[in-house]
Amino acid sequence: MKSESEIVDAIKGDEFAFFYQSKVSLVTGRIVGAEALIRWIRPDGSIVMPDDFIPAAERSSLIKDVTLHMLPKLMKDMLIMMDVEPLVVSFNTSAQDFEDDTFARTLLKMVETFRLAPNAIQVEITESVALGAGEAIRRNIRPLSQAGIGLAMDDFATGYSSLDTLSKWPFTTIKLDQGIVGRMMASQRNATIVNSSIRMAHELGVEVIAEGVEAREQHQYLMESGCNHIQGFWISRALPLDQFITFVEQDNRWSGLPVGLIHMAVIDHVQWRKQLASSLLRAVSFPKNSLQRANMNLPAMECHECRLGRWYYGEGNMFHGRAIFQSLQKPHADVHDTGLRLTQLVIDGASLKDITPILRVFAEQSMIVLGLLQNLEDEALENLHHSTSDENYHLSNYLQL
């Protein structure tokens, strides 16, 4: 472990640099970002890893100097990267960085000076910091989110009240801890934590990145679970800037068939249907012209706006070459039309008896949507396993790209 005076000397001697570890999208299979990881490069060329000096710096307020010292380096590195590819770059912060507003102010000023897009930058905060954070820390983080800078909860699933913290903070991303990712293939319990974390993040509109992915099976499992991004030695270690850029320029493709997102769409639709049906059934029990009928708690009624619709007309469109995907459009629009019709009838004073036959049609149309989604998921799963067991077969054949 290094001493504080050695760290002070290293700042003066400009011995710190960032290495970059790639993040890959499980939708496109391409590198979409990186995490900046600090390295201490000694004059003799040897490298000191962060675990040997960050804890010492964190025990004093020295960590704040390290962070501020690294910011302009990060900005300069990002300008070089952006010439090659628009990437989202995250970097690590410590609780002390948010004790006062110096760090947040400096970061915002630099983003402006360097003319970087705020949403190309992401600040990582560990779950334990977020859990223990007082109001001051929250107050100093807020301006960053307001400016559009991403906020990632690091080491997610290692703390205790993740759900509670997640709902209180403006997180845009959660990073599944590498310990949990490492154990998920061997432990059903860990697999369940991974799956339910992903599902919850999906409902909150937060992205998920899995850290510490070291093997093909983990990559595949995360694709099937609906995870958005992966990071780990399976893709690459953290590399010095020049090597990282060469790596990005190679334009490697990893398999990126988001089967898990089809599964999310299945659950999304079930939840949509349930919310609508229960709102309607509750409302018909109230008298005609009552306020409760006019103010039903409705899900998104437009077919582009429900979660399934947003997926279908957005990311899901990568399946447009598949006949099953095409055939989903009409039944999905139909079920929304029927939902709207039912809603109007209830507002106009219809009784349970009046709407029962139409509710039945609604349920049938919804079953068609679910059946098609299920077929699409099965077909994609088959192709995913086919493509990863046969090196010559490519997912692009399946997607007809």
Interacting residue ranges for ligand C2E, rule: CB under 6 A: 21, 37-38, 49-51, 54, 63, 70, 91-94, 154-155, 178, 212-214, 232-233, 238
Least spacing, CB of residue 152 vs Ca ion, in Å: 8
Q: Which of 92, 197, 231, 236 binds Ca ion (CB under 5 A)?
A: 92
Least spacing, CB of residue 135 vs ligand C2E, in Å: 22
Here the tokens at position 341 are 């019709």
Here the tokens at position 280 are 């309607």
Q: Site residues for Ca ion, window 138-157 (CB under 5 A)?
A: 154-155
Q: Are 99 and 137 in contact (CB under 8 A)?
A: yes
- When asked if residue 22 is in the footprint of Ca ion (CB under 5 A), the reply is no
- When asked if residue 127 is in the footprint of Ca ion (CB under 5 A), the reply is no
Smaller CB separation from ligand C2E, 154 or 379: 154
Least spacing, CB of residue 326 vs Ca ion, in Å: 40
Q: Which of 22, 23, 57, 124 binds Ca ion (CB under 5 A)?
A: 124
Distances (CA, A) of 97 to 54, 64, 68, 137: 13, 5, 9, 9
Smaller CB separation from Ca ion, 155 or 224: 155
Would you state the torsion angle of the CA atoms of residues 91, 74, 110, 177, taken in this order, to the nearest 10 degrees? 0
- When asked if residue 334 is in the footprint of Ca ion (CB under 5 A), the reply is no
- Give the residue among 4, 24, 145, 123 at the shortest CA–CA distance from 74: 123
Count Cβ atoms within 10 A of the Cβ of residue 251 and give its class: 0-12 exposed, 13-18 middle, 19 or more buried. Answer: exposed
Least spacing, CB of residue 393 vs ligand C2E, in Å: 26
Smaller CB separation from ligand C2E, 136 or 215: 215
Here the tokens at position 304 are 């582009």
Distance between CA 21 and CA 138 in Å, rounded? 28
Distance between CA 178 and CA 200 in Å, rounded? 19
- Give the residue among 127, 210, 233 at the shortest CA–CA distance from 171: 127
Smaller CB separation from ligand C2E, 99 or 337: 99
Smaller CB separation from ligand C2E, 21 or 338: 21
Residue 155 DSSP SS3: strand
Smaller CB separation from ligand C2E, 54 or 380: 54
Least spacing, CB of residue 178 vs Ca ion, in Å: 6
Least spacing, CB of residue 106 vs ligand C2E, in Å: 15
Interface ranges with Ca ion (CB under 5 A)? 92, 124, 154-155
